C-alpha cells in the first residue's frame, strides 16, 4: 500500500507541474506581470519575529523578501537579489514557502523571471546567475524523475529477496515472447521451489524461513548474467528468465544455482538455548520457449518439469520433455 501511495503522490506532483508551472513559461513570454502564484508564502517579519523597523519591507505586504535588496537577516543588512540569492534559498522562510517540489520549482521560476525582467542589459555575471537558476530548475526536475524511477523500482521489487516480483514477471515474459515472434530468437525459463520449506517454517519459525528465501535470492543474483532477471514468484517459488538462451545452457545455469544454494549453511538458534546448522535444497524445472508458447504455457511447462523433479527425489533439475534423470 505504501508503494502505491508513493506512486500516486509522484503522479500528482507531475500533474501539478504540467498544470501550474508549464503555463507560466508560455504566458511570461508576452506578459511581464505573470508569475507563479504561491499560496504558501509567509511574511518574513512575522515568521522571524523581527523588529527591524528600518527594513525596507517592515510595513509592506511584499512577501518575497529574497527579491528585495537591503533587507535585514541575521542582524545585518543584505545585498541585492543576485548577491544574497544563494543564502536566501536556504533560509527557512523560503523553504517553508515550498512544501512540495511544485512550489519550489515555481519560486525558482519566479526568481528567474524577476531577474530577467529587472535586468535590461545582462552582464556576464547576470548570465552566470541565470544559468545557475536554470540548473536549479533542471536539478529539481531530475530529482523528481529520479524519485519516480525509484518508486517504480520499488513497485516491481520483492522486499524480502530484492528480486523482481510476480507482477513484473509477466510483463517481462510477454516482452520476451513478443521478441521471439519477430525473429530467430528463443529464451528459457527456470522455476525453482525450496524443498520441504513448510516443514522448515513450522519447525523453526517464519523469521528463519525468511532468511532461507533471502539467501536463495542472493544465490540467484550472484549466478545471473547481465541480461538475466530473477523473480520471486510467490512463497518459496522463484522464476528466472534467461534471454537468448537454449534449454541446454539454461540447464547448466540452473544446476549452478541449485548446487550453490545446497552448499549454503543456515545456523538456527533453538528455544532451548542450543543451536543447529541446517541446509536446504531446491527442485528446478527448465523450459525453453517454442513457437506455440505464450507466457502462461511456458510457465506451466517449467512448473510441470519442477514437479517431476520433486516427485523423483527433489534437489535436482529436470528439463521439460525429459524422460529420464
What SS3 class is residue 106? Answer: helix
CA distance 119 to 252: 69
Q: Which of 288, 286, 290 is nearest to 318 (CA)?
A: 286
Residues 139, 143, 145, 149, CA torsion sign: positive
Q: Which of 109, 146, 112 is nearest to 127 (CA)?
A: 112
Angle at 293 between CA 249 and CA 167, to 5 degrees: 85
Contact 266, 215 (CB under 8 A): yes
**Is 236 among the catalytic positions?**
yes
Residue 132 CB partners (closer than 8 Å, separation 6+): none
CA distance 17 to 36: 11
Residue 261 CB partners (closer than 8 Å, separation 6+): 215, 216, 219, 280, 281, 282
- Please pick, among 153, 236, 255, 304, the residue that the annotation labels catalytic: 236
Query: In degrees rounded to 5, what are phi and psi of residue 29?
Result: -65, -40
Contact 170, 228 (CB under 8 A): no
Contact 57, 68 (CB under 8 A): yes
What SS3 class is residue 268? Answer: strand
CA atoms within 13 A on the CB side of 101: 23
Strand partners, 237: 193, 234
Question: Which stretches of 156-294 are DSSP H helices?
Answer: 166-181, 197-204, 206-223, 247-262
Residues assigned a catalytic role: 236
Amino acid at each position: 500500500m505504501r508503494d502505491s501511495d508513493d506512486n500516486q503522490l509522484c503522479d500528482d506532483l507531475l500533474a501539478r507541474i504540467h498544470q501550474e508551472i508549464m503555463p507560466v513559461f508560455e504566458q511570461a513570454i508576452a506578459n511581464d506581470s505573470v508569475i507563479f502564484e504561491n499560496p504558501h508564502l509567509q511574511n518574513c517579519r512575522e515568521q522571524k519575529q523581527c523588529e527591524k523597523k528600518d527594513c525596507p519591507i517592515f510595513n509592506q505586504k511584499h512577501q518575497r523578501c529574497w527579491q528585495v535588496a537591503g533587507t535585514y537577516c541575521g542582524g545585518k543588512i543584505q545585498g541585492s537579489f543576485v548577491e544574497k540569492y544563494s543564502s536566501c534559498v536556504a533560509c527557512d522562510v523560503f523553504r517553508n514557502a515550498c512544501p512540495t517540489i511544485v512550489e519550489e520549482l515555481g519560486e525558482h521560476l519566479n526568481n528567474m523571471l524577476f531577474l530577467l525582467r529587472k535586468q535590461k542589459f545582462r552582464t556576464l555575471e547576470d548570465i552566470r546567475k541565470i544559468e545557475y537558476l536554470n540548473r536549479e530548475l533542471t536539478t529539481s526536475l531530475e530529482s523528481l524523475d529520479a524519485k519516480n524511477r525509484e518508486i517504480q523500482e520499488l513497485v516491481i521489487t520483492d522486499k524480502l529477496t530484492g528480486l523482481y516480483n510476480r507482477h513484473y514477471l509477466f510483463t517481462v515474459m510477454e516482452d520476451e515472447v513478443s521478441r521471439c515472434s519477430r525473429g530467430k530468437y528463443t529464451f528459457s525459463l527456470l522455476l525453482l521451489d525450496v524443498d520441504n520449506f513448510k516443514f522448515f517454517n513450522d519447525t523453526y519459525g517464519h523469521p528463519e524461513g525468511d532468511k532461507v528465501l533471502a539467501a536463495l535470492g542472493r544465490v540467484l543474483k550472484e549466478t545471473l548474467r547481465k541480461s538475466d532477471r530473477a523473480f520471486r514468484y510467490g512463497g518459496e517459488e522463484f522464476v528466472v528468465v534467461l534471454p537468448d538462451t537454449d534449454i541446454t545452457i539454461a540447464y547448466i545455469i540452473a544446476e549452478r544455482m541449485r548446487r550453490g544454494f545446497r552448499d549454503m549453511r543456515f545456523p538456527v538458534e533453538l528455544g532451548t538455548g542450543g543451536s543447529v546448522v541446517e541446509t536446504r535444497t531446491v527442485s528446478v524445472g527448465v523450459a525453453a520457449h517454442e513457437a506455440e508458447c505464450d507466457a502462461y504455457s511456458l510457465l506451466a511447462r517449467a512448473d510441470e518439469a519442477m514437479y517431476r523433479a520433486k516427485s523423483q527425489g527433489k534437489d535436482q533439475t529436470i528439463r521439460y520433455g525429459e524422460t529420464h534423470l
